[in-house]
Structure 1
Amino acid sequence: MVLFTFALVTYYMSLLLADCYRSPDPVTGKRDYTYMDAVKAHLGGLQIWLCGLVQYSNLIGTAIGYTITASISMVAIRRSDCFQKNGKQSPCHISNNPYMIFFGVVQIVLIPDFNKLWWLSIVAAIMSFSYSLIGMGLSVARAFEGGHSYGTAGGVAIGEVSEAQKVWLVFQALGDIAFAYSFSMILIEIQDTLKSPPPENKSMKKSTLLGVSTTTVFYMLSGCVGYAAFGNRAPGNILTGFGFYEPYWLVDLANACVVVHLVGAYQVFAQPVYAFVEHWVQERSSNSKLFHKDCSCRIPMYGIYRFNVFQLLWRTCFVIACTLVAMLLPFFNDIVGILGALGFWPLTVYFPVEMFIAQRRMRAWTRQWIALQSFSFICLVVSLAALVGSIEGVIQDLKVYKPFKTQY
């Protein structure tokens, strides 16, 4: 019910946001190239900077979250190999820090040529479908095995966890689900890449319907069959569940698909951050050769390697910083919950509602105005609950955590 509700909310708010790409008219108005530009055109004032702070903080946080997630999948492959060699009873504790560093190095290598890697998003989409289908198939197979609990309607019972812990975990789950529907933060940037005719908002609305419907079906199936497979002990990541020791190769393939998917997804979410900083710096240093000079060098077995000095330095520093933070805070579900809670209400609900009201010149205290504002307030309460639950989860993790020594 919660998944379906978030899907409906995200879809409806995305329809409003798609109409705000142009201003003042959604079809013939002036293009707004970024989310901040749209807020500037419709709302202005302090809300522009509030939007930028929330949006780019979430984009940075998403890059950190993807680094953590990719390393967990790589560690799962390494542990699978360890179990196969040493037996299922072997502890096989492996640090995820080297794998975070490896993921960061891959991102640095992709920096200069990302614009040429148009096929990467297609590969990422194929990988996403692949690991989802594998995860669901393995879950179905495990669900039909005998001798294990299928879980209960109420989930983990009071007694196994305290009443307070139960509430915190429910709130944290809300944040996880909110993060799963967090694409609104780059909806305007994606819409800016569409050609017209037909009008960009019509194309974006069709894409949103297809995207939300497809992901919701996969989320529903993964959640249901994953719970059928593991019951109340369902892990945060099905593919790293302790029940999946066999078939080794299939689990490894699924985790490899996750890693490849996140390599592309990381770049997509990082591009708006790169562009924002580079535009801001170039505007204030228009006469500096450092920020405009392009260089090239010949690399054996590669050819001519072209790069902009400032872009290469800044983007490399960004990747290094994200990797270091990921190594300091490798708490997958809690970090995802915080990101979802922080970004869902302002970027998915608040700004689309306020811009829609401003665009339509809707008078205060009319029925539609009251309905939209009430809806926004309810979503705010849900986001705050998710944020509190996720922060509580991080606090509990920090009590037993040693920096740079996390092992799985």
Structure 2
Amino acid sequence: MLKAISKPAVKLVERYLPDPYIFVLLLTLIAAIAAIAVERQTPLAVLRFWGDGFWNLLTFSMQMLLVLVTGFMLASSPPVKRILQRIAGTAKSAGGAIILVTLVSLAASWINWGFGLVVGALFAKELARLVRVDYRLLVASAYTGFVVWHGGLAGSIPLTIATEGHFTADQIGVIGTGSTIFAFFNLAIVVCLFIAIPLVNRLMLPDEKDSVYVDAKLLEEPELSHTRGTRPAERLENSIPLSWLVGIPGLLFLLDHFFLRGGGLNLNVVNFLFLFLAIVLHRTPRSLLISLNEAIKGGAGIVIQFPFYAGIMAIMVQSGLAQSMSEWLVSFSTSTSLPFWSFLSAGIVNLFVPSGGGQWAVQAPVILPAAQALGADISRVAMAVAWGDAWTNLLQPFWALPVLAIAGLKAKDIMGFCLIQLFITGIIISVGLVWF
């Protein structure tokens, strides 16, 4: 049944879903028109919101570009390639490859979202070299694992409200991760998704006549040369000690960060880890630079599109549109149904404000007073917003850009499969938030 349903969904998306750049242009126009029509903002005010906020994600854009580049460099190093090849070698069939890549992506995304995006895509490429399997579904399976990130160890909303002095601390106090990430209802949702998502992906596997395969030779990485050369410059480019004299201190810094200072895992730390592991494991600067030149080719979408999303977020927040959407959806809630409507509202807002932390800043002033007035469970409502933010990433191509860049595909190639998962995971999460 899922195979039959996914076939028209894939064709529909392939026909009508534009390139993510076109998608972000359309979202910009929709947000601007809605701010004028609904919030009664003047065109000049909306123009100023958009222009003033256009560069607000520059730091984040660079972080995401580095997630792509450093993750690629790490995975293309000889030791990591051998590990990925060994794990990929355990998949003996197309169905096995789909299940394996989904589970790897789910586990990596639950640990850290940036780690999950890169590992899932790179592992999908490795599997495609060894197993004859529909490449679109393979990459889509890697991306669907990303849906669990906000219920995992790096979830920005549960980590924010667990931090002393967070911006709503006077209102709700500090809520530990035992009531959010490690609460029974959240762990139950995660376990159900770990079972359902791989199974659904496997059941969507197209027949051979409908499958799209990729030539394994096209996925091969360039051979990395380790010849020493004769010129002094060539010797430096191929110097192992030079790489290790810089790379090993970087790893020692991370040991100090985690074990002596008790530091946590965030996007900067993940990028630092990827980069310095890549420096050490590539052994020579030349090997690292060859890998870098390959990695950077896929970053164009991130560079050009993220500023537009920053502008959309500014329109949504500054005009009051995001707050109005949230207020309307929670206006008819009860203490029992509030988590569901919070989840749904977060999913809709996420299409325009694809940032977990930014979304909580927008929705917390609406959601939290409603929860307190209705006597709803604050931690459950907060996790509902977190899950809503993660859920519609299956429809929003913003977060798929690094995956697509690594895999060499377009959004329309994978979003048909993701659309099926959107409905199924939405049911599972909704039931979990209300009934578990």
- Give the TM-score band, short-chain normalised: under 0.3
**Greater helix proportion:** 2
The one of the two structures with greater contact order (alpha-carbon pairs below 8 A, sep at least 6) is 1
TM-score normalized with structure 2 length: 0.21
